[in-house]
Amino acid sequence: MKCELAPSILSCDPGRYREAVAELLAAGVERVHFDVMDGQFVPPITFGAGLVRSLRDLGDAVFEAHLMTLTPESHFDAFLEAGCQSIIFHQEATPHAHRLCQRLRERGIRAGVALNPSTPVDAILEVSDVLDLALVMTVNPGWGGQEFLRACLRKVETIRRECPDLDIEVDGGIDPLTLGLAKAAGANVFVAGSFLASCPTLTSGVEQLRAECD
């Protein structure tokens, strides 16, 4: 499957989000990953659809919203109207993941479901008929810069075995080494936040990750 990079701006300076996204797009990333936290599903609060809308003019890469929120469906319209082509919500935030995937697809949005490290993989398999992307968290959601949880790769292996054509994204603790591990397990979309922010430039960080992708 085609490998794609989906950098998160979470670890970038909030005063420089625009410059960061412009640089990432110039570096050729396929997606930009927006970590939306509501102070409820996870303790921190980040940003909302207004930020996505304000950056949409920068280019055509896929903008994906990772909704770490309660009642994710109450935010679908705002992120759709802001220009997201893909919305990922957490399985743990709703008893109706299947219906919410249907709703996203009806609106022409690619539907993604995220799993916390403690959530069993079955949750993904049960909605695979209406799913475009499975996001396997490889840290506990809420903060950048945490250590990659290798045990979560078992879920990636299971999903890839059951769903050969599904986009499988990993999120948390991704650097060139862990990207390689996740790719070997079957993932094909890679979020990276703090690794990129720690590189001399975002562009050089993207190049290092790309080298592992190809």
Choose, by CB under 6 A, the member of 48, 59, 83, 142 that binds ligand DX5: 142
Respond yes or no: is residue 129 known to be catalytic. no
- Return all residues near 169 (Cβ < 8 A) that are at least 6 apart: 6, 88, 112, 133, 134, 135, 136, 187, 188, 189, 190, 191
Q: Specify whether the CB–CB gap between 181 and 150 falls below 8 A.
A: yes
Name residue 134's beta-bridge partners: 113, 168
Q: Looking at the DSSP assignment, which residues form a beta bridge with residue 137?
A: 171
Q: Which tokens belong to 171?
A: 């999120």
Does the protein bind Zn ion through residue 171 (CB under 5 A)? yes
When CB distances are held under 5 to 8 angstroms depending on the partner's kind, the choice from ligand DX5, Zn ion, none that residue 186 binds is none
User: Which residue from 27, 32, 35, 69 is in contact with ligand DX5, where contact means CB under 6 A?
Assistant: 35
* Residue 121 vs 137, nearer CB to Zn ion: 137
171 flagged as catalytic: yes
- Please report, as residue ranges, which positions from 18 to 57 form the binding site for Zn ion (by CB under 5 A): 35
54 is in an annotated binding site: no
| Closest residue by Cα to residue 134 from 212, 196, 64 | 64
Told to check if 171 binds ligand DX5 by CB under 6 A, we report yes
Residue 169, interface with Zn ion (CB under 5 A)?
Answer: no
Q: CA-CA distance, 64 to 80, in Å (whole number)?
A: 10
Residue 172 engages ligand DX5 in binding (rule: CB under 6 A): yes
Active site residues: 35, 171
Annotated binding site: 8, 33, 35, 66, 171-173, 193-194
